[in-house]
Structures are given as C-alpha cells and as structure tokens.
Structure 1
Amino acid sequence: MSAADLKAILLEKSVRTGTFTLASGKESDLYIDCRVTALDPVGANLIGEIGWAAVRERIQSEGLAIDAIGGMTMGADPISLAIGMTSARQNPDEMIQVFTVRKEPKGHGRGKQIEGNFKEGDTVIVVDDVITTGGSTLKAIDAIEAAGGKIAFALVLVDREEGGRQAIEARGIPVLALYSRSTLL
C-alpha cells in the first residue's frame, strides 16, 4: 500500500466537482470530504501508515519531542487516531497519544474543550482533514494554546491551496500537507 493507493481512495470516495458552498461560506468547484476516506478501514490504515511516516520523518529531522496528536472534532479524529495507532504498532518507544478538540467547551462535567490524552505543557501536532481558509485549524490551535499546549506543526490530509496554509504559517506554525489540490487532481 502506498500514497498512490490513498490518493486513489480519496479521489474515489472524497473528492467531488461541481458547485459547492464551503464551511467558510465561499463557493467552490471542488468539495473534499475526507471523513469518507478516513472512516474507511483501508483508507484509515493508509492514513495511519503514510501519516505516521511523514510525522516521524519530521520529528526525527527536526529533533522534536511530541506528546500527542489531535485537532478539531470531527475531521481530525479518525486521522489522529490512525496515526497514533500506527505509531504504537510500529514504534512503541515513540508512540504519540491522541486527543480531540471540541468546537465548544463541554457544558457539563469538567467543562473541558480538549478530550483524551492531552495535558498542559504537552507539545502536540494539530491535525485537520482539509484546509481552505485555515479557520477550523486556527480554532483548534487557539484552544490548545489556551489549555497550555505547544504546537510543533500542523498536519493536514489535503491543502486546498486557498490561503489556509499561509494563515496557519502566519501564526508561526509550519504546515505539513500529505496532499494538495494540485497533487491530488
């Protein structure tokens, strides 16, 4: 299994052309729903393998110590979990924990906005499935930083190449995209 196999699944299951209104309110000729691929057992395994290889290379080349991986629910959840599971299976000594960021703090219990394996002081990778403007990734970054987390870099499955990468990098957070609009299409 390879990046070409994951690309084929993304193109078959997740990429649609036509006229669409995006979460940002912008109209686009392209709609990408990565959840369909990320929730497919083969797609999830490929995301785990390819994502972990890319993350591990970045960690090693930059000498990073990463505690956890996660992002805004729901798009980031299956991607983060697939990569975390692959890290545990392939490199138990380098395993990274997984968390999720709620859109709003929970209205009961401990009132947390970040759930799972995250604690103040952790250095994390923030994940998103698709970036267009970068808005949802930046919202996750704000929540993580407000909870005392440090962002090493952002990992996205697909960069639509519509300014999101630049908006995230303007915050001083490098973006690692597994695919971009131009490499996917």
Structure 2
Amino acid sequence: MLNQEQALAIFKKSGALLEGHFLLTSGKHSDRYVQCAQVLQYPEDTSALCEEIARRFKDDQVDLVIGPAMGGILVAYETARHLGVKNIFAERENGSMTLRRGFSIQPGQRVLVVEDVITTGGSVQEVIDLVQAQGGVVVGVGVLVDRSGGKADFGVRKVGVITMEVPAWEPESCPLCKEGTPAVKPGSRGLK
C-alpha cells in the first residue's frame, strides 16, 4: 500500500514534481509543475505507483486497461500487469481518440481507464466515450496525479495516487511575479 506522502516522495526524487515559478503552456503561471515522464523512466517506481491503482480496483472484475497515448501508455501497461489483464491504448487521429493497431473492445468488457496526470480530464473523457461507443463498461478511472484537487468528474469512481490542486494564475495576478521571481518554462523544450 502506497500513501500520498510516499507517492509524492517518489515524484520529487525523480524530478517529476517541481516547485518554483513556472510559465505553463496555457500562458498561466504556477508554483508547481508535474512532468510524469520523469518518474516513468524508473521501472521500479512506475511499478509501485501503478500497483497502487491496481490495488484500488482489484475487486472490480477489470477485463481490460486502456490509457490515452502518450501519457497513459506506460500507466495502462503496468496497471494491467498488476491486475493480470490485457492492456491497450487509444490515440488521437484526425483530432479524435480512436483505437488503431488492431485493438478492440468487446461489448460488455469491463474496462479501467488510466492516465498519468489529469487537470480537466479532457483526454480521459474522450477515452471513456470511445470505450462506451464500443460497448465496453467503464468500471473506473485511475490516475497517477489528479491535479484537479478531486474536482474532475467522469461519472464513475476515480482514484488518484496523488490528488492535489495546483494553482494557476494569469501573469498579471501572479503572486510570484509580484515578488519579482522569474518564471521558467518547463517541459520538453524548456526546463530539463
């Protein structure tokens, strides 16, 4: 069993949870930044985090685990491994989530939707809609980090290994800017 404090320690150790002054892709500023790819580099840590998702859904008769590409691929694989079931992933094609590569969902199949991090949960909702359109039954949503503070609602049980509310401010109302702290742009082309 992994509690939130232990999970946060794993994220901080890997550099996946940063604290400071960040310029987000949205143009807003925040004092925290989550980059799950940093923690997913480490198989032992990834296994421990996904085992916690699997543990919380072990009694739900899950038949299949699915996650959206890219962030949900490793999470789906490792969670499915712990549950002893098959995993697949959905990917965006022409702006919509779809199943490719011969993947399918059988009518009545009990499906767990997973993701690395959610803020509004848009991608997860698209995957839920895809599963339901295929006739699958969504038993729940499991995420490594729920940045919505628990507010994202999918109409099914949702489990976050870490649940936090990450503030985001417009630049003109950012308290860190008012203190004179420079903002750093994290991500694939910014902070390493």
Please give the TM-score of this superposition, normalised by the length of structure 1: 0.73
Q: For residue 24 of structure 2, what is the aligned residue in structure 1?
A: 21
Aligned residues: percent identity? 26
Where do 1:1-185 residues align within 5 Å?
2-3=2-3, 5-12=6-13, 13-17=15-19, 18-22=21-25, 26-56=28-58, 59=59, 64-87=60-83, 95-104=84-93, 113-115=99-101, 118-121=104-107, 122-161=109-148, 165-169=150-154, 172-181=155-164
Q: Distance in 1 between matches of 2:86 and 2:111?
A: 9
The total of aligned residue pairs comes to 159
Q: For residue 171 of structure 2, what is the aligned residue in structure 1?
A: none
Structure with the largest fraction of helix:
1
The residue type equivalent to 1:20 in the other structure is L
In the TM superposition, residue 69 of structure 1 has moved relative to its aligned partner by 0.8
SS of 1:76's equivalent in the other structure is helix
Unaligned runs of 5+ in 2: 166-192
Q: Deviations over 1:95-114 (max 9, x none)?
A: 22111011227xxxxxx625
Q: Deviations over 1:27-66 (max 9, x none)?
A: 433221112212312212212332222221xx2xxxx321
When Rg is computed on C-alpha atoms for both structures, the one with the higher figure is: 2
In the TM superposition, residue 26 of structure 1 has moved relative to its aligned partner by 5.0
Distance 1:115 1:67, change over 3 A: farther
Please give the TM-score of this superposition, normalised by the length of structure 2: 0.70
In the TM superposition, residue 135 of structure 1 has moved relative to its aligned partner by 1.0
Higher relative contact order, chain-length normalized (CA < 8 Å, sep 6+): 2
RMSD (Å), alpha carbons: 2.6
Distance 1:99 1:134, change over 3 A: same
Unaligned runs of 5+ in 1: 88-94, 106-111
